[in-house]
Amino acid sequence: MRRYDVVVIGGGPIGALTARHAALVGARVLLVEQGDGRGAASACAGLVSPRTIDLFDAPSEAVLRRIKGGRLHLPGGGALTLRAPDTRALVIDRAVFDRSGLEQAAATGVEVRTRTRATRASLGSVVLNGKERVETEVVVGADGPKSSVRDWFSLPAPQQFLAAAQTTVEVTPACPDQVEVFVGSDTAPGGFAWAVPAEDGALRVGLLGPAGTDVQALLSRFLAGRFPGKVRARGGGLIPIGPADSTYGDGVIVVGDAAGQVKPLSGGGLYPGGVCAQIAGRIAGQAGLSGMTNAARLRLYDEDWRREIGGELAFGLSLRQVLFSLDDETMAALGAVLDDPAILSPIEAYGDIDHPSRLILLFLERRAVWPRFASLIPLLGGWERVRKLAADFLSSISLL
């Protein structure tokens, strides 16, 4: 029977990065992936910050486009347009990105096994393909929102789930360095739709909403009205938001979508998951080497990732709950208040898609816009909701 210090279940970018960082501390690591390793993420828009590329050491060929602007389409026909002076986001080829992660893990010494399914795991062991049993000090679940590892070890699920659908449409983007976002009850009740320039002559058009929403039907209607081009591919899936209350146990940790380490506003999981993957790999590897793998030791992982990004995720979740509870009329009014150069210009200059709370600090220093923001309080639901946002904001900046 083969023995490892760490077995990572799930060979997507988060699992591969976790495995690589476990190997970097000297651990013997097995990474199992039930797919063929070519990479597939049909519900992923592939829009990431430049720092995400650095975080994963992704190759330049993974970058398809550089994004400098965005346009938010509001109910009633209004819109907010942002145009940054430099690149603020990148559109990536997920297949290239995913393959790179597995290749780098293997180059670091990780044993990578594709077309291999973990069918059961318990303290100290993992069963592969229903018959092969391997021993391990630590099991890492990087197996997505429907994590089997989470269930096998009776760990809690993320707080909420969203449903997402996406398609690639053959159409030339009107602005090749701009993304478009659409909100409103007619488009995506409780969510939003997007159009992201991808390969030449193609747009990634998608939509998300609360779990249970027929996002495929909504997307079909949205495509017919806005982007009636030829559809190349179509898919969907669940997006977890709100981190699980606990992401560790005796001999086990979960990371990425399995742990709900996803940006609540956008549903993007690569940056926060990558930050947590580095921590997960280091602590799992060290624990596996030492043989100290009880919950008290692995709790360090939970504490470290929450210290790093927990406040930002809490702030994003609170802001999401406020914004996506607004009716169309209120959302349009909110857009009208924000449509002011004194507000939009600083966002264009300093906006950060990974750390939206940092904009609050920016505006706190600009007294001239305070009256403008004061007018938002009734639109956002009154002082009680604003106080909750402020508390989560203070939590997020305490980590900076």
Question: pLDDT per residue over 178-192, tens digit each?
Answer: 999 999 999 999 999
Would you say residue 302 has pLDDT above 80? yes
Is the domain of 9 the same as that of 144?
Answer: yes
Would you say residue 394 has pLDDT above 50? yes
Range of the domain at 267: 3-316
Banded pLDDT at 355 (limits 50, 70, 90): confident
Would you say residue 73 has pLDDT above 80? yes
Would you say residue 152 has pLDDT above 70? yes
Query: Which pLDDT score is estimated for 386?
Result: 56
Query: Which pLDDT score is estimated for 139?
Result: 98
Query: Which pLDDT score is estimated for 345?
Result: 86
Last residue of a domain, one of 265, 291, 316: 316
Would you say residue 393 has pLDDT above 60? no
Query: Which pLDDT score is estimated for 360?
Result: 74
The proportion of the chain whose per-residue pLDDT surpasses 70, expressed as a percent, equals: 89
pLDDT tens, position by position, 24-58: 999 999 999 999 887 655 568 899 999 999 999 99
Query: Which pLDDT score is estimated for 395?
Result: 56
Q: Which residues contact 7 (CB under 8 A, 6 or more apart)?
A: 29, 30, 31, 32, 118, 121, 126, 134, 136, 138, 139, 140
Is the domain of 302 the same as that of 353?
Answer: no
Domain count, the chain: 2
CATH code assigned at 80? 3.50.50.60
Is the domain of 150 the same as that of 221?
Answer: yes
Is the domain of 229 the same as that of 295?
Answer: yes
Is the domain of 261 the same as that of 191?
Answer: yes
Is the domain of 221 the same as that of 355?
Answer: no
Instruction: Provide mean pLDDT across the span 60-65.
Output: 95
Banded pLDDT at 291 (limits 50, 70, 90): very high
In this structure, of 69-83, 258-272, 313-327, the range with the lowest mean pLDDT score is 313-327
Would you say residue 2 has pLDDT above 90? yes
Is the domain of 292 the same as that of 347?
Answer: no
Would you say residue 21 has pLDDT above 80? yes
Is the domain of 84 the same as that of 135?
Answer: yes
Tally Cβ neighbours within 10 Å of residue 196.
26
Q: Is the pLDDT higher at 142 or at 394?
A: 142
Nearest one of 330, 336, 332 to 378, comparing CA atoms: 330
Is the domain of 211 the same as that of 285?
Answer: yes
Is the domain of 335 the same as that of 307?
Answer: no
Mean of all residue pLDDT scores within the chain: 90
Nearest one of 49, 69, 41, 25 to 272, comparing CA atoms: 49
What does the chain come to in residues?
400
Would you say residue 221 has pLDDT above 90? yes
Q: Which residues contact 232 (CB under 8 A, 6 or more apart)?
A: 167, 168, 169, 170, 202
Query: Which pLDDT score is estimated for 324?
Result: 86
Give how far Cα 370 sits from Cα of 11, 367, 376, 377, 392, Å: 47, 5, 10, 11, 20
State which of 152-161, 193-202, 376-385 shows the largest mean pLDDT.
152-161
Query: Which pLDDT score is estimated for 399?
Result: 43
Is the domain of 238 the same as that of 374?
Answer: no
Query: Which pLDDT score is estimated for 229?
Result: 83
Is the domain of 235 the same as that of 381?
Answer: no
Query: Which pLDDT score is estimated for 367?
Result: 66
Banded pLDDT at 375 (limits 50, 70, 90): low
Last residue of a domain, one of 255, 281, 316: 316
Q: Is the pLDDT higher at 339 or at 116?
A: 116
Last residue of a domain, one of 294, 316, 338: 316
In this structure, of 49-53, 235-239, 387-391, the range with the lowest mean pLDDT score is 387-391
Distance, CA of 320 to CA of 264 (rounded, Å): 7
Instruction: Provide mean pLDDT across the span 326-353.
Output: 85
